[in-house]
Structure formats: C-alpha cells, structure tokens
A = this chain, B = another copy of it.
Amino acid sequence: MTPSDTSPKIARLALSTRSIAEVPAQAAKAAELLSMRGPGFSLRLDEATCIAMQMRLVHYPAGAKLFVAGDHTNTSYMLLILEGDVSVDTGVFVGAGKVDISVIGAGALIGELALLDGSPRSASCTAITPVIAAALSAGGLQRLLEQHPMVAAKLAIYIARSAGDRLRSLSEQLRMYDQLTASLQEEVNQLRASTAK
C-alpha cells in the first residue's frame, strides 16, 4: 500500500480505514450498487467487483463532515455510500432563506468529479446517521486503469453519466428560477405602475 491510498482527511475523520476486501459482505454490496446502472457501457457485476477491490471501507459517525464545499485539499478520492444517510448542501439558496439541501443514501456517489480533476469540493456533505462508505482514491483509480482499463473506462462513463444526471437536474432548477424571476419582475412592474397612479 502506498501513502496515497488513504488521504489524511479520510484517516482523520474515520479514525481507521481498511481495504474493503477484508469485509466481503461490504465488498459485495459495493459491487452490486456499482453494477446497478442503465443501458449500454454498463458495469457487469464482475467488473464492478474489480472496482470494489480497489476501495477502502470508511466509517463516519453521525454529524461527521464527509466533504466541505470549497475545500481544495484532500480532493483525491470519491465515496460510494453503502449505508446511512448523507445531507448534501450546495450552498445555493432556493428562496425564502431556504438552502438547497438534498439527502442521499446507499448507492449514491459523491466527490467523483474532484477525484478526476482535483477541483475543490462543490458541496458540503454531512453524515445524518452513522455512514459506511467505500472510498476510491486517485491511486486506486490509477491501478484500475493499469490493471483493468476496460473496467476503468466503464467507471469513468458511469461517473460522466452521474454528472449528466446532475446537469439535467440543475438545468431544471435554472428553468424554475427563470419562471420565478419573470413572475417577480412582473409583480414589480405592476406594483410600480399602481404606485405611480
């Protein structure tokens, strides 16, 4: 094992991590969750198992910060949630002082884009319940590329698809904002007109 396998942050937050291969039931769960994805270029269970074998098991207590928005250190891993609930806070307000927070659970992938491009974390993720996750580091991805390139390709396609899903969801939010600002603008215009009378 090289030091890059476990980022300091995972180690600090989770107290200890170990190879998921040491816990076969969790390795099987990770593989099953990764293989449950759409048509074309999908990960077969044996391919998903290859990926799981490069992962490390991480436990977070309730309340732990998995990622902090804007953090540009320790961006070199992604997490597949195996058990528990995680709140994702993008820092975007959605009107009336409410912040856009979603809750995700088993099967969700977080931090996957930062793993690929080293960009800062885009959202803060907090464990609502105790959370068990499978972490794939940049080192793990590199080994996967070298040892099982076809599987690495399908994993990258899987990640690109997740990003596509999120792009569609954000575009939908933008359309809603569109309508909201248009109706607010109209109200402003009407109020101005009636004030001017």
Contact = CB atoms under 8 A, between A and B. Distances in A.
Contacts of A38: 117
Chain copies in complex: 2
Interface stretch (A23-31, A80-88, A184-192): A184-192
A170 interface: yes
Overall SS of chain A's interface = helix
Contacts of A113: 160-161, 163-164, 167
A6 interface: no
A130 interface: no
Interface in A141-197: 141, 145, 149-150, 152-157, 159-161, 163-164, 166-168, 170-171, 173-175, 177-178, 180-182, 184-185, 187-188, 191-192, 194-195
A118 interface: yes
A167 B168 contact: no
Given A160-B116, A160-B163, A161-B117, A181 B177 contact: yes
B156 A92 contact: no
The 8 A-B pairs of least Cβ separation, nearest first, read: A156-B156, A163-B163, A149-B149, A153-B153, A191-B191, A113-B164, A177-B177, A160-B160
Nearest to A172: B92
Nearest to A119: B164
Contacts of A163: 113, 160, 163-164, 167
